[in-house]
Amino acid sequence: MVTLTRIYTRGGDKGQTSLGDGRRVAKHDLRVEAYGTVDEANAVIGLARLHTAGTPEDAYLSRIQNDLFDLGADLCTPEQEAPPYPPLRIVDAQVTRLEQEIDALNAELAPLSSFVLPGGTPAAAYLHQARTVTRRAERLVAALAEREPVTPAAFKYLNRLSDFLFVLSRYVNGRGAGDVLWVPGANR
């Protein structure tokens, strides 16, 4: 368990931060950008939860917020052989759970006849925002994976999460009835 007794350390005052393995890197390091963007997605999910409190959908989002902290811990700790302490890593079971939830929620939605524009209910709008931030995190993790090893399940988790957030946004929009659909060329 983590115990935080002091919030500021002054360690980052010169533009560097510590990774999970203790190594110091620039705050704009690609790895820091990746897990920082995961944190941003988590914050937007927190905004969505203001509009899902007390619903089954809120339970999904609560679990996902915890998973995203796991993902941040995974991403902030570079892979190494024989680490002194086993790092927390995203596992395939977390990806599989998202897939099962996507399938269950999507089964209750009518097929789409057009692309969905972000909007509808406040919860759906925030879920769409969380989806786009998750996609940005996914792009950053893809770039990071070209430079150094990344847990494969971590990348898969982000990919499935963006799909989950899309499906859940439709679900909270009256199971798709309140979706705002794109009308190509409508304003020509």
Tens digit of each residue's pLDDT (9 = 90 or more) over 14-50: 888 887 888 898 889 999 999 999 999 999 999 999 9
**CATH assignment at residue 57:** 1.20.1200.10
In a domain, 148, yes or no: yes
CA–CA distance, 61 with 183 (Å, rounded to integer): 30
Give the count of domains, the chain.
Answer: 1
CA–CA distance, 83 with 137 (Å, rounded to integer): 26
In a domain, 140, yes or no: yes
In a domain, 26, yes or no: no
One DSSP character per residue, 1-52 reads ----S-S--STTTTSEEE-TTS-EEETT-HHHHHHHHHHHHHHHHHHHHTTT
In 3D, which of 40, 44, 31 has the Cα closest to residue 74? 31
In a domain, 16, yes or no: no
Query: CA distances (Å), 153 to each of 16, 33, 41, 97, in order?
Result: 28, 19, 18, 12
Rg (CA), the chain: 18
Segment 42-69 shows an average pLDDT of 98
One DSSP character per residue, 108-142 reads TSPPPSSPEES-SSHHHHHHHHHHHHHHHHHHHHH
In a domain, 6, yes or no: no
**8-state DSSP, 165:** H
Q: What percent of the chain has pLDDT over 70?
A: 99
The structure's pTM equals 0.93
For residue 8, which amino acid is it? Y
In a domain, 103, yes or no: yes
Place of tokens 């009835």: 177
Query: CA distances (Å), 109 to each of 2, 37, 99, 104, 106, in order?
Result: 40, 29, 16, 10, 5
In a domain, 23, yes or no: no
CA–CA distance, 169 with 131 (Å, rounded to integer): 9
In a domain, 19, yes or no: no
pLDDT at residue 2, rounded to an integer = 67
The residue segments making up the domain with residue 99 are 31-77+86-177
For 117-165, how does the pLDDT look when each residue is reduced to its tens digit (9 = 90+)?
999 999 999 999 999 999 999 999 999 999 999 999 999 999 999 999 9
CA–CA distance, 32 with 30 (Å, rounded to integer): 5
